[in-house]
Amino acid sequence: MAISPSDLKALLQKSGNRCAFPGCPTTLTIQESDDSTVILSNVAHIVAQREDGPRGKFALPLDRRDEESNLMLLCPEHHKVVDSKPHLYTVERLRGMKENHEKLVRIALGNAIDKKSRNDQLLEKYHIEKVYSSLFEVIKTPVYIYQSTPTKDAITNYAIEELPRYIQPDIHLPYILKDAKLFTFQDPRNSESPFHAVVDTSTVRQIPCREWWNDPVKSRWFVELLNNAIEIFTRQKGLEYDPIHYRYYFVPDQLGLVKDIEYKPLNQSAAIKHVVWQPITKISGQPKSYWLHRSISLRFYYVSSNRWCLTLRPEFRVTKDGKTPLDSEKIGAKVTRKKSKMFNYDLLG
């Protein structure tokens, strides 16, 4: 038998995504992809799946050993501990540990829900206006970075900096080149990877992302990879990157034409908004001598141990004709008043 998805889901919920060993503070992360879930922890059996395993002689039918009631979520270290000492960590003791841990999770969640309910009642009582934050926690980051060396042919026939020529135009994957090494979030050993044919797969090294986060140099490389991913995403949404001001801005589909988008903001069911347009003079009704492009600044910050945040700031880009940037000394007066009326909920659809 195997653990069913419903039993696995129930175990994760009841365990609060934490190791059930008393006193262990380890938070166990989950990496989800489109077609699978990878649990970076150990699902431990209280009574082993097979009779020759730890505590496997206990009187529990084999067809019930993969049920949630016989499972615990443990970090790899404590999984080894309980299975290496089955006489110390008996079935009764492990069941007690599981029950106590899940009780603590229920209490913690209950307190959090009660606190949220009290806060909601307070907000409703005093009609406090909602504030949409400009700082968002990144709840999921890649787990591994893959380092590899480009092949000799790649170096001989093309400069390393021209490696994008190898990548199929319809595939967009973030990567960086540092010290003649290629770094990416995708494993080049996968034959379907566009990097597979241009690197020496024997040199591939899998690096946990967390090893980079506290390194002053590698953390900047990690941010560069994240920024590459953001740039790919925004480009697919019809935005271009302004490397001078570190922001992403809309461009017209055709030079000289206004561009509108339809979207669903948080404060409305639907809306249509100008994202590229030429302002009109109210008195004469004539177009002004510049174009406005809605823009956004997106930046990643490592704020504390194992926590990343993304800042969001609405901005404007000003051009002469929808493409050529306006002279910098002419921009301030044109956008200062408009920026004071820009709110984040317009961008959170």
DSSP one-letter string for 95-118: HHHHHHHHHHHHHHHHHHHHHHHH
Distance, CA of 105 to CA of 13 (rounded, Å)? 9
Partners of residue 259 on adjacent β-strands: 276
Q: Tell me the per-residue pLDDT of 175-209, one tens digit each, with 9 for 90 and over.
A: 888 888 999 998 999 988 878 878 899 999 999 99
Kind and range of the H or E run holding 78: helix 76-84
Rounded average pLDDT over 232-257 = 88
For strand 239-242 and strand 199-208, is the pairing parallel, antiparallel, or unpaired? Answer: unpaired
DSSP one-letter string for 250-291: E--SSTT--EEEEE--TTSS-EEEEEEE--B-TTT--B-S-E
pTM, full prediction: 0.55
pLDDT at 168: 52
% pLDDT > 90, the chain:
19
Q: Is the pLDDT of residue 116 over 60?
A: no
Distance, CA of 114 to CA of 116 (rounded, Å)? 5
Query: Is 222 exposed, middle or buried (CB count within 10 Å of its CB: 0-12, 13-18, 19+)?
Result: buried
Using the Cα atoms of residue 121, residue 122, residue 124 and residue 130 in order, give the sign of their dihedral. negative
* Residue with the larger pLDDT of the pair 95 and 42: 95
Partners of residue 128 on adjacent β-strands: none
Mean pLDDT lowest among 97-101, 105-109, 283-287, 288-292: 105-109
Distance, CA of 308 to CA of 70 (rounded, Å)? 35
Distance, CA of 32 to CA of 17 (rounded, Å)? 14
At 67 the three-state DSSP class reads coil
Q: Tell me the per-residue pLDDT of 123-149, one tens digit each, with 9 for 90 and over.
A: 554 444 444 457 788 888 899 999 999
Kind and range of the H or E run holding 92: helix 91-126
Rounded average pLDDT over 15-40 = 64
pLDDT at 184: 92
* Residue with the larger pLDDT of the pair 93 and 265: 93
Categorize the per-residue pLDDT at 222 as very low, low, confident or very high, splitting at 50, 70 and 90: very high
Q: How far apart are the first and last CA of the chain?
A: 44
Q: Tell me the per-residue pLDDT of 291-319, one tens digit each, with 9 for 90 and over.
A: 999 998 888 888 776 788 888 888 888 89
Decide if 98 contacts 63 (C-beta within 8 A): no
**Amino acid code (one letter) for 39:** I
